[in-house]
């Protein structure tokens, strides 16, 4: 149960084409399981969502079980995602 008011809206990824495929984005408060072989973009997609949330001023927690922080940061730089900016700001 939520102890504070909970918004059950749609959360966009920041990628208009992908959000269109999902009907606007993912529904807040639900789970999404991304499956696929290595290298297809699962972590990159979740980084996109994390950065979009941070850009909206939301706080994000990103768990990477099979990669180190350096790998995640390097991937975000390669994709042009300002991950380090939001880590430094506390988002």
pLDDT in tens, 46-88: 898 889 999 989 898 888 888 888 988 998 999 888 888 888 8
Give the pLDDT confidence score for residue 20 in this predicted structure.
92
pTM exceeding 0.85: no
User: How many C-alpha atoms does 59 have within 13 Å on its Cβ side?
Assistant: 1
Q: Is residue 3 part of a domain?
A: no
Q: Is residue 46 part of a domain?
A: yes
Domain containing residue 64: 10-89
Q: Is residue 1 part of a domain?
A: no
Q: 49 and 13 in contact (C-beta within 8 Å)?
A: yes
Q: Is residue 61 part of a domain?
A: yes
The total domain count for the chain is 1
Q: Is residue 84 part of a domain?
A: yes
C-alpha–C-alpha distance, residues 36 and 45, integer Å:
12
Q: Is residue 4 part of a domain?
A: no
Give the pLDDT confidence score for residue 1 in this predicted structure.
65
Inform me whether the pLDDT recorded for 23 exceeds 70.
yes
Give the pLDDT confidence score for residue 2 in this predicted structure.
64
Q: What is the DSSP letter of 47?
A: H
Q: Is residue 5 part of a domain?
A: no
Q: Is residue 17 part of a domain?
A: yes
Distances (CA, A) of 51 to 9, 37, 41, 70, 87: 18, 23, 15, 17, 10
C-alpha–C-alpha distance, residues 47 and 52, integer Å:
8
């Amino acid at each position: 149960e939520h102890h504070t008011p909970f918004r059950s809206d749609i959360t966009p990824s920041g990628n208009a084409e992908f959000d269109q495929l999902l009907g606007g984005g993912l529904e807040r408060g639900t789970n999404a399981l991304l499956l696929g072989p290595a290298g297809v973009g699962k972590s990159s997609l979740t980084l996109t969502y994390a950065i979009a949330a941070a850009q909206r001023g939301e706080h994000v927690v990103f768990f990477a079980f099979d990669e180190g922080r350096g790998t995640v940061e390097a991937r975000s730089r390669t994709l042009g995602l300002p991950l380090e900016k939001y880590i430094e700001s506390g988002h």
